[in-house]
Chain A
Amino acid sequence: MTRVSEQSSFHAINHAVGKTKSRLEDLQLKGSNLKRVQKPSDDPIGNTELLSIRSQDIDNEQFGRNISFAKAQLAFTENAVEELTNILSKAKELAIGQASNFYDADIRKSVAKEVEQLKKQMISIGNRRMGNKYIFAGHKNLTKPFDENGKFLGDDKTTNIEVSKDFFVPISFSGQEVFFPDGETKMADREPKLPPAPKINGEEVEEPKFEVNRTLASEDQITTEKAQRNIIQHIQALEDALNTNNPEIIQGLLPVIDKDMDKLVQIRTTIGSTINSIDNAFENIEKTKLLNAEYKSKIEDADVAELFTDLTRQQSTLEATYKASAQLMNKSLMDFLR
């Protein structure tokens, strides 16, 4: 026979009630916000996974913003390039008309006026701004890239931004590329590519090696580039030839304008394919978001059915404990000695 004393039964009741109650409290807290993980120790591994998924979510949110930004800027650029193409085709029509000896100097002068207008339109497109930045100015995007003579003052740099982890796309096209059909722009250069990441060895961070798009122009390159003419200057040449009534030059300009138009079409194709790859990236991000949400819920959300079954079970356990305790505590030998 085990001896039972007042204190031992008191402790037994206390321990039983306390244990059940603390479990119940825990379950009730989880039931109140349906989260399984309330603090790191509830699920240490799950907690760190949760945090890193959240990081991914924040990153993806930013990539989403980057995507809309990139798309807006690319669409804006495409629009400008399209307008340029239209102007060029108009100029080409005029040039074809004036290439024969059919018209005289007076008519050519009036056509020249029309061409001059076209040229001004092109310059204004070249100086087009999105917000406060000139889209065709390369990295010097706070200064006007074209002067009134159509001379290019910007640089040949493009801007890349990250639209999903480690996936970079160009969002700006320098005037050097768009307006200079002879410029050596390989399409391969335009392919989205990874920027070199800075390497860090122990303490010191190695200098990040950036691929400079083109080495700085050497002396003779500068001279050849100066000699190189851009689209605006081609139209200028057309205007000059019309003014000086020189059909040979006008004829000579026709293939040049054709080449200009080819170049613009090529650029529009590039923009289109870039937008395509951005759309793909966006789809991937959306997919990741979904998967992450599902995974996150698996880690942090309580299984409602299980939770409430547990809750009910603990509640009835507590009630049973109460009943048993009440019977034990209320009975005493005294009751029977009267």
Chain B
Amino acid sequence: MGSDLFSIGHSALSTSKKSMATTSHNIANANNENYSRQRVTTESGTPISEGDYVVGSGVNIRSIKRTHDALAEKKLNNSISNHEFNKERTDQLTQVEEIFNEINSEGMNKILNRFFNAFRELANQPENEVVRTMVRDNAQLVVKDFHRINESITRVKEGIDTKLSRSIEDINQSAEKIAYLNKEIIRLENAGGETGDLRDQRDEATRLLSEYFSVNTYEDEKGQYVVNIANTGSLVAGGAVNRLKAGKVMGTSGNGRDSEGKVDIFFEAQTNLSISDNLKKGKLSALVKTRNEDIEFLRGELDELAHGLAKSTNAVHRRGFANKELPTDQNGNVINDGSAGVVTGINFFKEPLAKDRAAEYIELADEIKGDLNNISTALAPNAPGDNRVAIAISKLQHEKVLGKGDTTLEEGYLKAVGKIGLTTAKTKIDTEQTAGILAQAKSIKQRISGVSLDEETANLVKYQHSYDASARVIKAADEMFDSVLGMMR
């Protein structure tokens, strides 16, 4: 009987100690965001029959389990994917938007206006050399700004490509980690070990993947943990990883821009099949969407603008005559014998060959760069005071030269700026919203799995008391033993 007391006391003592250790572990990880609090579950020992009585045999530890809700975890992953998509898109679009922001600075709209007004000034004084210089300078500014915008957009696009490539490393690393943890968890569980901490680590890695794309996770019939990239295929299945790769797909289509090679994402095992467009939510699809939709749209609009400006200005300018004196016969008829060089049909901008990349290639014509007198203001030869061509060019400002002849240059530009502003504004609102949802999802998860110090403190006191009591049980057993032994003396 006495030995029973000893063994019950011992089981209680060790259970209390173990519980205190778990509580300490919880307290130690109170600030670890990825930690799920652990709980010791106990059961009473198998009762022993002693004659007519059945007596309890103390306490046993059944398990140490982490507190975890799979549904809350899935919700959290989902809101991470959603939020990261909006956040990344806002980041990228804010960069793009800044290129077109001319609220506190100079921009294309103002510069284009100055260009046309320079021609208006030239119409006042077509014979004035200084005004011609001003016209050329203003035209040069237009060209520069087209190049600035084009380069800035290209830089954003290249930034996106770099970011895509770098993300792949992160993703593969997390995938490898999940595969490794899968193997470890199965090994430990087979050996009857506790896997709460490893599972926490695996969840953390999965959350990291959720930042890049929407994931589906499940355990298959063999108990293997599988991570699927939504809408495409499996990334991790048990201990196997289907690695991703980023790279340029060369010449996939005839489109001029595509042959430059933009970065696409595919499985290492299937390099000919890009999955970039299939990705849903997360950073990756935000990057792909911004690059393939928003930036392409802007480049198209910009090219259209540059093309329309160069074409229409040239068409009018070619009709004019350069500011050069031609010889005349006795009747006052002009003899164009070529002695004065080319005097009419001169282009102002280099004539664009195609709409594609017009903004990149726009440039002043060599004739205009070389000789200010080639800026043609007159509709007739030998008429230095004739301003009709200069006026006609200045009127192009309000002429519908874009699209099917239904949009002015300014309208075209403002349409593009307006669209990018609207998209950015909407994404910002979406981001604020998903940030709220994410915070909520995080807090739901933390309420379930997070450590509460108050709770742990209470537990600590509780276990301490039970430890003390268990020690007392052993002491009582000892005293009982002593008194029995004392009887022998």
A interface residues, Cβ below 8 angstroms from B: 2-8, 10-12, 15, 35, 37-45, 47-48, 50-52, 54-55, 58-59, 61-63, 65-66, 69-70, 131-133, 137-142, 155, 157, 159-162, 165-166, 168, 172, 195, 197-198, 200-205, 207-208, 210, 300, 332-334, 337
Contacts and interface: CB of A to CB of B under 8 A. Distances in A.
B387 A15 contact: no
A66 B452 contact: no
Given A47-B417, A159-B385, 15 more contacts: A4-B447, A7-B31, A8-B446, A40-B417, A41-B97, A51-B417, A59-B397, A69-B125, A70-B124, A162-B391, A165-B398, A166-B398, A198-B315, A202-B404, A208-B392
26 contacts: A3-B448, A6-B30, A15-B436, A15-B439, A35-B103, A40-B103, A44-B425, A48-B415, A52-B410, A55-B110, A65-B121, A66-B124, A69-B124, A137-B385, A139-B383, A139-B384, A140-B382, A142-B385, A161-B120, A162-B120, A168-B391, A195-B391, A204-B315, A208-B316, A332-B457, A337-B461
Best-surrounded residue of A133, A159, A207 (most CB of chain B within 10 A): A159
Interface in B376-411: 378-380, 382-388, 391-392, 394-401, 404-405, 410
Contacts of A10: 31
Contacts of B228: none
Contacts, number: 224
Given A200-B399, A205-B315, A48 B385 contact: no
A276 to B, nearest CB: 20
Nearest to A334: B457
Contacts of B31: 6-7, 10
A86 B279 CA distance: 88
Contact of A55 (B109, B385, B417): B109
Nearest to A51: B109
B453 interface: yes
A270 B166 CA distance: 75
Secondary structure at the A interface, as helix, strand, loop or mixed, is mixed
B447 A2 contact: yes
A21 B5 CA distance: 62
Contacts of A63: 120
Contacts of B94: 39, 41
A149 to B, nearest CB: 17
Nearest to B315: A205
A206 B405 CA distance: 12
A123 to B, nearest CB: 20
B452 A3 contact: yes
A7 B33 contact: yes
B457 A337 contact: yes
Contacts of A4: 447, 452
Interface in B20-52: 30-31, 33, 37
Nearest to A47: B421
B452 A5 contact: yes
B392 A161 contact: no
Contact of A332 (B121, B125, B453): B453
B273 interface: no
Given A42-B425, A59-B117, A195-B395, A210 B379 contact: yes
Chain B contact residues (Cβ within 8 angstroms of A): what range? 35 or more
B424 A141 contact: no
Contacts of A195: 388, 391-392, 395
A160 B435 CA distance: 61
B126 to A, nearest CB: 8
B315 A48 contact: no
Contacts of B220: none
A7 B424 contact: no
Contact of A5 (B110, B312, B388, B446): B446
A214 to B, nearest CB: 12
A9 B457 CA distance: 17
Given A195-B392, A334-B457, A139 B452 contact: no
B146 interface: no
A208 B424 CA distance: 41
A86 B7 CA distance: 138
Contacts of B382: 140
Contact of A333 (B30, B404, B457): B457
B378 A139 contact: yes
A165 B443 CA distance: 61
Nearest to B387: A159
A329 to B, nearest CB: 11
Contact of A157 (B127, B386, B419, B452): B386
Best-surrounded residue of A41, A140, A161, A300 (most CB of chain B within 10 A): A41
B37 A198 contact: no
Contacts of B37: 5
A310 to B, nearest CB: 17
A301 to B, nearest CB: 12
B448 to A, nearest CB: 7
Interface in B416-441: 417-422, 424-425, 428, 435-436, 439
A200 B103 contact: no
A205 B316 contact: yes
B149 interface: no
Contact of A139 (B100, B380, B398, B418): B380
A44 B421 contact: yes
A15 B383 CA distance: 73
A200 B319 contact: no
B442 interface: yes
Contacts of B83: none
B342 interface: no
Contacts of A45: 418, 422
A137 B418 CA distance: 49
Contact of A11 (B103, B428, B446, B448): B446
A59 to B, nearest CB: 7
B384 A197 contact: no
A200 B117 CA distance: 20
B405 A202 contact: yes
Interface in B288-338: 311-312, 315-316, 319
List the 8 closest A-B pairs by CB distance, nearest first: A5-B450, A205-B315, A40-B421, A44-B421, A141-B385, A139-B383, A8-B446, A41-B424
